[in-house]
Structure 1
Amino acid sequence: MQYEGVLTKMQTEFGDPIQYYLVFEDSFLNVNQLLDKTMVIDFLGFQCLNCGKKKKIFRQGFCYDCFYSSASVGDWIMKPELSTAHLDIEDRDLVYEKKVQLQPHIVYLALSSEVKVGVTRGTQMPTRWIDQGAIEAISIVEVPNRYLAGITEVALKNHYADKTNWRKMLTNSVEHVDLIAERLKLENLIPDEAKEYFYLDKNDLYTMHYPVLEYPTKVKSLSLDKTPSFQGKLKGIKGQYLMFEDGTVFNVRSSEGYVVRISI
């Protein structure tokens, strides 16, 4: 059985365990069904997720030109504190920026490799946490725009990591932390502009279980640029990673825009 198309991040469905899907233009694949089976991934080329042209991918599934012109990859995406739509100030496309920035955003704590702080749109829970491979997550504040979420995250970065250690996440080397107790410590760290939105007593702790048969003790990352054809037995899926029997891990999201053929 073969599937062919442009890679985009795996779609997920919250459940016990999380369900994962690879979605192509004319087909989709429930990746959970491939556990303990051998799969072959062949790299066939590139296709920019923005312009659709067969151009080498630069970052985030975009070619070089689109990465530096598209409103959907402005600097405020990675640094929410740079958001300016609430001031009617345009970065690349004010209509798009207002649509995305001027909606409820969550600042959260997630336990993926260690406790980390992050920002996501309210509509992206719990998808955002699943994509990071978090085993638990909890909201801190829900604010009306991306800017307020960004300045709250910046204030908390002095106390928590803001990135996931992917190696620790994939080897499941995670020390348990009581996130509800952790949230209780934060009230005085929240910026004044966001204090009224602080969640003190809300019971919204999420727990995620991933379809993993066996965690690797060491991991090595698969790059399709260096290894255009790979074969391995799938042992787990966590975050946006496929985990294979020999310790090879493949980050689907970082390979967005790559055209592949998957054979089972």
Structure 2
Amino acid sequence: MALQLGRSFIDGIRRVLSRTGGVLFAALLALQILLQTSVNTAVIGFLPPEAAAQTQETLGLTLPISGTVATALFLLVAILSATYFVVLARGITRPMSELATFPRELYTRRIGRATLSVIGGGIVVSIAVTIGLVFLFLPGIYLGACLLFFFFEVAIEDERAIGAIKRSWNRTKGNRLKLAVIVLLSGVIGGIVGVLATVFDLAGAPVVGDLVTNTVSTLLFVALYGIIADAYVQIRGDDPSGPGGSGARSPVDSGARADHR
């Protein structure tokens, strides 16, 4: 199905302005802050005492724990983040009429396998896109567009890592130029967040900077994921009711059918 990019932006924002969007925003914000805090704490924890004291003045949020514990916390949050993207994909792609609910199936159905697939495949996708961006830039944008639906394929279609990569590659055919716009938008959002962080660092307010940048980052990226989700629903061809997606097939139902195959 041909992608209507403008509609994806409008309906994607509508998707996140829902109870499901609110839950996903709160969860991602908590994960972002925990991730930032654990990294800051780990850095300080492994530095010599004098260097740690000086560095702590320039870092933001930290916890009163050792570097080893902070590293373990970081790894735990990283795993939870992979689980989060599974839940996000399942939750935000449902029909508009279902977004006021948040059923258990979103975070229980085959969640362990899906999380492992997101972690394994995510590493492959990240390396491929990063190499493309570093060396020639445009190949990175192209790969980003081709693999944009990777974690949706894992979460909704119950694909494993390699299968999800292949399926995303095939599903994006014919729409990659439009999807590249979304990939570029993610870069713009990253740039905005980077500028904000720099401003607060220069102002000597790293703690406030961490809180503000993580909040803004979460808000913008959840909106972006809503746009990607709507693009996925359109291209997947599950949207017979037209704008708004009220007739889209629920990914929870799709997974239930997959369990019986």
Bin the TM-score by the shorter chain.
under 0.3
Q: Which has the higher strand share?
A: 1
TM-score, reference length from structure 2: 0.26
Q: Which has the higher helix share?
A: 2
TM-score, reference length from structure 1: 0.26
